[in-house]
């Protein structure tokens, strides 16, 4: 079974492509989080966990989702991490998670997809984003072949800088950056509520036809990138930047 978490669609796309190639089922962890569900599921095929990269690690909300779930059947676990640049060195923490859950760790696949972190980085325009997605397809297809053959993903080399990114920098990111207070709706907002629906943590609520943000934000960018009117900003950092949504996988 393929279990995925996605804010703006990159990891959803990767998961859907893998499901197509592997003939496997999909489970949307974000939808389960929104409903407050802890999963109890079984799969005879290997587990494939697909997510974005948050500060060179699995998103903490996704790691917690996996940790709190009950999984039976296969013990093999593959991890696929989409990123705008690179994933750092998340293997140590993922291996520890696998030990806790009784999984056999089968490696991590790095898949470069369009940058979506509008709260910090430059986001590609639509044409450039489409080219990046197309370039990612053979990486995902090769990963699917490895899973079908029962092979682990290739072991990744690690530098001291990569390890620092996935440890100290990750902690700094969560303690200083992952806050929702900078989000706001401009006068262009028409109160459609799509941002509220998009938030996997139910952290956005509508009041007087305007969105308001709570304190449970994970910086997935689902709210700001789902707004059809570009009416949500993150302080001044998002102003003038494109909003990114990955198209649905079409086969």
Which tens digit of pLDDT belongs to each residue from 92-129?
Answer: 999 999 999 999 999 999 999 999 999 999 999 999 99
| pLDDT greater than 90 at residue 179 | yes
pTM value? 0.97
CA distance 223 to 178: 14
Number of residues that make up the chain: 251
| pLDDT greater than 90 at residue 158 | no
- Copy the structure tokens of residue 52: 């974005």
Average pLDDT over residues 231-243: 97
- Copy the structure tokens of residue 69: 């779930």
Residues contacting 224, CB < 8 A, separation 6+: 118, 119, 183, 195, 232, 233, 234, 238, 243
Q: What is the dihedral of CA 78, 66, 218, 123, to 10 degrees?
A: 20
Given a contact cutoff of 8 angstroms between Cβ atoms, the answer to whether 250 and 16 are in contact is no
CA distance 156 to 167: 17
């Amino acid at each position: 079974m393929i279990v995925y978490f996605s804010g703006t669609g990159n990891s959803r796309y990767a998961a859907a492509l893998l499901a197509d190639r592997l003939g496997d089922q999909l489970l949307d962890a974000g939808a389960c989080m929104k409903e407050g569900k802890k999963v109890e599921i079984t799969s005879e095929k290997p587990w494939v966990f697909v997510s974005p990269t948050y500060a060179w690690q699995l998103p903490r909300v996704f790691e917690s989702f996996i940790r709190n779930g009950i999984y039976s059947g296969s013990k093999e676990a593959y991890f696929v991490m989409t990123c705008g640049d690179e994933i750092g060195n998340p293997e140590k923490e993922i291996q520890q998670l696998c030990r806790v859950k009784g999984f056999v760790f089968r490696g991590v696949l790095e898949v470069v997809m369009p940058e979506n972190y509008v709260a910090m980085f430059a986001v590609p325009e639509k044409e450039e984003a489409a080219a990046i997605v197309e370039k990612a397809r053979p990486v995902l297809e090769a990963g699917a072949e490895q899973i079908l053959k029962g092979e682990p993903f290739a072991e990744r080399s690690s530098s001291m800088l990569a390890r620092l990114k996935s440890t100290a920098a990750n902690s700094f990111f969560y303690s200083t950056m992952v806050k929702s207070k900078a989000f706001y709706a401009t006068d262009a907002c028409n109160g459609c509520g799509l941002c509220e629906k998009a938030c996997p943590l139910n952290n956005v609520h509508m009041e007087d036809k305007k969105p308001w943000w709570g304190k449970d934000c994970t910086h997935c960018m689902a709210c700001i990138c789902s707004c059809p009117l570009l009416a949500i900003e993150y302080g001044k950092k998002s102003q003038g930047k494109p909003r990114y949504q990955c198209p649905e996988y079409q086969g």
